[in-house]
Chain A
Amino acid sequence: MSWLLVLPLLVPLTTGILCLVLPGRTAQRVLGLAGALGLLAAGLALLAQVQRQGIQAVQIGNWPAPFGITFVADHLSALMVLISGVVAVAVALFALAENDQAREGLGYYALGHLLLFGVNGAFLTGDLFNLYVWFEVLLLASFVLMILGGSKAQLAGGVKYFAVSLLSSILFLVAVGLLYGATGALNMADLALRVERVHPGLLTALSMLFLVAFGLKAAVFPFFFWLPASYPAPPAMISALFAGLLTKVGVYALIRVFTLIFTHDTGFTHSLILWVAGFTLLLGALMALAQGELRRLLSFQLVSHIGYMLMGLGILTPLALAGSVFYALNHMIVIAALFLLAGLLQRLQGTTVLVRMGGLYGPYPWLAVLFLLPGLSLAGLPPFSGFWAKYTLVAAGLQAGQYGIVAVALLVGLLTLLSMGLVFAEVFWKKAPEGARAAPGGLGGRVLPVGLLAVLTLAIGLWAEPLLSLSQAAARELLEPAGYIQAVLGVSR
């Protein structure tokens, strides 16, 4: 059943190619949605397979590991693929309703699916250099998506995004090269076996290169400055895809290398990650409070909450890692919902500058509810998925005696709540300011994907056990790499 593992790659690739080959707009729109639904189905099938038979591995081209390229799906990879399928479906539905003819004509669906191809490739590959290649695939697609349509703000944001992405790619490539020089291996399972023979000081230095390279992609302190400068620029159907998926690829890569390869000196490396997590959380949340524009505010919230995912990695207990995984999954859904919602509000009021918005509670009370569901989930209030994610992390932090980071995590929860409350007050509660546009045109089908994501975060919150136990399974696999190595190389340590 090796084809199940490559299905999450083949589906978006085939969809993307067909969108390039078939010129008709209707064909592309149908393909855009069908491909996203197919990806979701493939993600479900893969997760079921991993659940039944344990870690899956395929040697591409039948070249045996560690010489060929291996694709591996453990619980973490399968879960990330599944949730990226969920985000893909929501964004595809939104794009269908948005009916942006100009951007569709420029190849929105083809690029979107090639982006998903790159993202899923990064989640599934078991080879460090191949991971670099997947990063390039998703970056190339994202560069074009970022400036698709060519508005001035998009080009300005695109230049910063391009420069920072290239910088992190170069760092990543240099780090891979040096690690290869030190170990003679690129296959991650093989690396996990070989790093024991490398001088620990050298290994720590290498791990720092990876921390910076992936940290740039994940937008953590002190490398987050580029994200709020570029993510607000493209329209919602693009920025939601970016916000939901791209930084999570960086987080995934950090989790992968810092549980599988760089575990020789956790006292130093993982403590440092914990500090990074704390500063990311705090600075992101404080900066979010200072923003007067909704999409920039959400971008800082996105940065801030990356800190939670690193917090679990830094604590490195089974419960903490499970919290990290759960948080990443929950956050993909929630932040995509909020970015799509910002698109709805932009359409209603013609602006996302908070002082010029207002008065939406009267005509659109249900929209206020739609905002509060993911908004409160982001702040970590029960009964939403964000609550369990944060609860798990805080509980793990207390168990491990990491009181400092727990205090920061709780404080940032409060700050997030404050920030969401401010947005609610500005956008819905406050009277519409003079000269504000009063709801031109309906929202149509754009509400559906936001609603689906909002209901999903509520559903996960009310029925958290399945996803939580899956996250715990992922954490167990991460902390016991022997299973991963056995699946890839067929030998045990």
Chain B
Amino acid sequence: MNTLILKTTSRFLFTLLLLLSVFLLLRGHNEPGGGFIGALVAVGAYALFALAHGVSAARKLLPLPPLRLVGWGLLVALLSALPALLLGRPLMTGQWFSLLGVKLGTPILFDIGVYLTVFGALLSAIFGLEEAAHHPSEDA
């Protein structure tokens, strides 16, 4: 899509949406929000950017290919389940500690894993669909 308005606003919205997604991720700790919804907002940011500037430009803003992010997300979620085992508790028992007065725990790690997994999976689907729409011959 080649419109000046979308191209300009998408740059600002991209940053704002990503910030919102991190806010939602962290807020999910005790209030409505969480990794899943946060990732959806982040995917929205990238999808908007891809619509305005093309998929390849959006891909350049990613540190890793989307599917690789799924792997890392799963790995982070898996790591959140393990500390309990090392302490002799059942798998996935939440472990908590305080850092400078902020209560932290393994559930936030799990949420980050969910965030990355959902983000990577949805984005690879959206990028794939968008690319197939523009180059139908490649996937036919």
B71 touches A58 (CB 8 A): no
Give chain B interface residues in 52-73, CB to chain A under 8 Å: 67-68, 70-72
B74 touches A17 (CB 8 A): yes
Give the contacting residue for B90; candidates A10, A13, A58, A110; CB below 8 A: A58
Q: Identify the closest chain B residue to A2 (Cβ).
A: B90
B125 at the interface (CB under 8 A from A): no
Minimal beta-carbon separation of B14 from chain A (angstroms)? 27
Cα-based distance from A187 to B18 in the complex (angstroms): 40
A20 touches B70 (CB 8 A): yes
A20 touches B74 (CB 8 A): yes
B94 touches A17 (CB 8 A): no
Give chain A interface residues in 330-372, CB to chain B under 8 Å: none
Q: Identify the closest chain B residue to A59 (Cβ).
A: B90
Q: Identify the closest chain A residue to B94 (Cβ).
A: A61
A407 at the interface (CB under 8 A from B): no
Instruction: Report A-chain residues with C-beta under 8 Å of the C-beta of B108.
Output: none
Minimal beta-carbon separation of B36 from chain A (angstroms)? 16
Minimal beta-carbon separation of A18 from chain B (angstroms)? 8
Cα-based distance from A198 to B84 in the complex (angstroms): 38
B133 at the interface (CB under 8 A from A): no
B89 at the interface (CB under 8 A from A): yes
Instruction: Report B-chain residues with C-beta under 8 Å of the C-beta of A21.
Output: 68, 71-72, 75
B92 at the interface (CB under 8 A from A): yes
B93 touches A61 (CB 8 A): yes
Q: How large is the interface on A (under 10, 10 to 19, 20 to 34, 35 or more residues)?
A: 10 to 19
Give chain A interface residues in 1-41, CB to chain B under 8 Å: 2-3, 6, 10, 13-14, 16-21, 23
Instruction: Report A-chain residues with C-beta under 8 Å of the C-beta of B67.
Output: 20
Minimal beta-carbon separation of A400 from chain B (angstroms)? 41
Known: A14-B78, A17-B78. A61 touches B71 (CB 8 A): no
Cα-based distance from A472 to B24 in the complex (angstroms): 54
A60 touches B90 (CB 8 A): yes
Give chain B interface residues in 27-41, CB to chain A under 8 Å: none
B129 at the interface (CB under 8 A from A): no
B91 touches A3 (CB 8 A): yes
B75 touches A17 (CB 8 A): yes
Instruction: Report A-chain residues with C-beta under 8 Å of the C-beta of B88.
Output: 2
Minimal beta-carbon separation of B120 from chain A (angstroms)? 10
Instruction: Report B-chain residues with C-beta under 8 Å of the C-beta of A58.
Output: 90-91
Cα-based distance from A20 to B70 in the complex (angstroms): 8
Cα-based distance from A62 to B75 in the complex (angstroms): 22
Instruction: Report A-chain residues with C-beta under 8 Å of the C-beta of B92.
Output: 60-61
Known: A6-B91, A61-B91. A23 touches B78 (CB 8 A): no
B16 at the interface (CB under 8 A from A): no
Q: Identify the closest chain B residue to A13 (Cβ).
A: B78
Q: Is the interface of B mostly helix, strand, loop or mixed?
A: helix
Q: How many residues of B contact A (CB 8 A)?
A: 17
Minimal beta-carbon separation of B101 from chain A (angstroms)? 26
B85 at the interface (CB under 8 A from A): yes
Cα-based distance from A61 to B72 in the complex (angstroms): 22
Instruction: Report A-chain residues with C-beta under 8 Å of the C-beta of B68.
Output: 20-21, 23
Q: Identify the closest chain B residue to A58 (Cβ).
A: B90
Q: Identify the closest chain A residue to B86 (Cβ).
A: A3
Instruction: Report B-chain residues with C-beta under 8 Å of the C-beta of A3.
Output: 85, 91
Instruction: Name the residue in A18, A58, A59, A61 with the highest tally of chain B Cβ atoms < 10 Å from its Cβ.
Output: A61
Cα-based distance from A16 to B70 in the complex (angstroms): 11
Known: A13-B78, A14-B78. A20 touches B94 (CB 8 A): no
Give chain B interface residues in 85-134, CB to chain A under 8 Å: 85, 88-94
Minimal beta-carbon separation of B61 from chain A (angstroms)? 20
Give chain A interface residues in 40-60, CB to chain B under 8 Å: 58-60
Instruction: Report B-chain residues with C-beta under 8 Å of the C-beta of A17.
Output: 71, 74-75, 78
Give the contacting residue for A60; candidates B70, B71, B78, B91; CB below 8 A: B91
A61 touches B90 (CB 8 A): yes
Q: Identify the closest chain A residue to B70 (Cβ).
A: A20
Minimal beta-carbon separation of B95 from chain A (angstroms)? 10
Minimal beta-carbon separation of A63 from chain B (angstroms)? 9
Instruction: Report A-chain residues with C-beta under 8 Å of the C-beta of B93.
Output: 61-62
Cα-based distance from A124 to B94 in the complex (angstroms): 22
Q: Identify the closest chain A residue to B75 (Cβ).
A: A17
Cα-based distance from A198 to B69 in the complex (angstroms): 48
B74 touches A62 (CB 8 A): no
Cα-based distance from A10 to B80 in the complex (angstroms): 13
Instruction: Report A-chain residues with C-beta under 8 Å of the C-beta of B74.
Output: 13, 16-17, 20
Cα-based distance from A391 to B104 in the complex (angstroms): 59
Minimal beta-carbon separation of A415 from chain B (angstroms)? 46
Known: A14-B78, A17-B78. A2 touches B71 (CB 8 A): no
Minimal beta-carbon separation of A485 from chain B (angstroms)? 19
Q: Identify the closest chain A residue to B74 (Cβ).
A: A17
Minimal beta-carbon separation of A64 from chain B (angstroms)? 10
Instruction: Report B-chain residues with C-beta under 8 Å of the C-beta of A110.
Output: 71
Cα-based distance from A59 to B89 in the complex (angstroms): 9
Minimal beta-carbon separation of A60 from chain B (angstroms)? 5
Cα-based distance from A18 to B70 in the complex (angstroms): 11
Instruction: Report B-chain residues with C-beta under 8 Å of the C-beta of A16.
Output: 74
Cα-based distance from A71 to B85 in the complex (angstroms): 15
A-B pairs, 9 with minimum CB distance: A20-B71, A21-B71, A62-B93, A61-B92, A17-B74, A6-B91, A3-B85, A17-B75, A58-B90
**Further 15 A-B residue pairs, CB within 8 A, beyond A17-B78, A18-B71:** A2-B85, A3-B91, A6-B91, A10-B91, A16-B74, A17-B74, A17-B75, A18-B75, A20-B68, A21-B71, A58-B91, A60-B90, A60-B91, A61-B91, A62-B93
| Subset of 10 A-B contacts with CB under 8 Å | A13-B74, A16-B74, A18-B71, A19-B71, A21-B71, A21-B72, A58-B90, A60-B91, A61-B90, A61-B93
